[in-house]
Amino acid sequence: MRVFFDQRQDAHAPARELHNGEWMPYSEKPSRTRSILDRLGSPAAVSDHGLAPVLAVHERAYVGFLQSAHARWLAAGRAGDAIGYTFPVVGRRPLPLDRIDAQLGAFSYDAGTPVAAGTWEGAYWSAQTALSALDAVAGGDRQAFALCRPPGHHAGRDYMGGYCYLNNAAIAARAARPLGYERVAILDVDYHHGNGTQDIFLDDGETFFCSIHADPATDYPFYWGHADETGTGDGDGATLDLPLPRGTAGETYLAVLDGAMEAIARHRPELLVVSFGADTHASDPICAFDLDRDDFRAMAQRIAGAAVPVLIVMEGGYAIGDLGLNVSAFLSGFSA
């Protein structure tokens, strides 16, 4: 399986985040990709597809904000990373709001997603990585792995959050249509619900979105991912959320995955995009499932059984010492 990654992705390197009331070192750091590449070897080259596929998913005003936010933060006399601290609760005033502080709140939903000096560069090349892996699948590869960093599944059309800025999986899924994939399914197996991806495709009946994740009654992102969320309008019935309790282990998880794969098969996709997070592993420091490495292989074997091309997009996973081994185990399941 070809692996895609561009070193420019690691230009994104915030110093800290606000987590559970304390400033903490930023968890989504460049050492994540180094851990993975140490196990997978040299990646394939990433091609630049330009902004058009990004703007097919994200609003232009939001993209412009990401491009300029850090420079504007510094111009306002601030130092370090740009972090929002004021968020609208009921409704939102029409943009533009000129002050960078106001735009940080308007375009984000948490204080754990800073904009650093290299954030736009990293996010841009992360999206290009997903698009390059899509090219490989469209060219005949049965699977391809996009080592995306920063991740993307929490980013919506006009908001960032959860370490995510551009929604790599959504950008690739949307770009697949002009390549001939009329029906696409997205399976999100990160510990956290892929709220941004769900929002983007909520009313899209041609794109089936299924997420297996920690119950939002106890875990981030809290406001999305409940089992009664099934889509709206033309997308009614094309969203399937499968929340699980903390402590879920492999046997239970794999049984739920079997059900998810049956639902995906009923959608009859021509392409399956997998948002893969290794943060479901028992060693992950900020998550609370109990999967082991063999469970990752078993997950991939079940996903490969869908008998359609699979584009794998990296999302979370923060146990740096185990991360490369866990990702390698998952990818190995596609050739088992």
The catalytic residues are 154
Element of type H or E holding 18: strand 16-19
DSSP state, residue 144 = E
Tokens of 131: 């698009």
Environment class of 251 (CB within 10 Å of its CB; exposed 0-12, middle 13-18, buried 19+): exposed
Tell me the Cα Rg of the chain: 18
Nearest alpha carbon to residue 210 among 122, 282, 275, 158: 275
Alpha helices in the chain (DSSP H): 31-40, 52-55, 60-75, 100-106, 119-138, 168-175, 195-200, 250-267, 293-304, 320-332
State the residue for tokens 């940080």. 104
DSSP state, residue 160 = B
User: CA–CA separation, 302 vs 284, rounded Å?
Assistant: 23
User: CA–CA separation, 54 vs 172, rounded Å?
Assistant: 9
State the residue for tokens 């006399």. 77
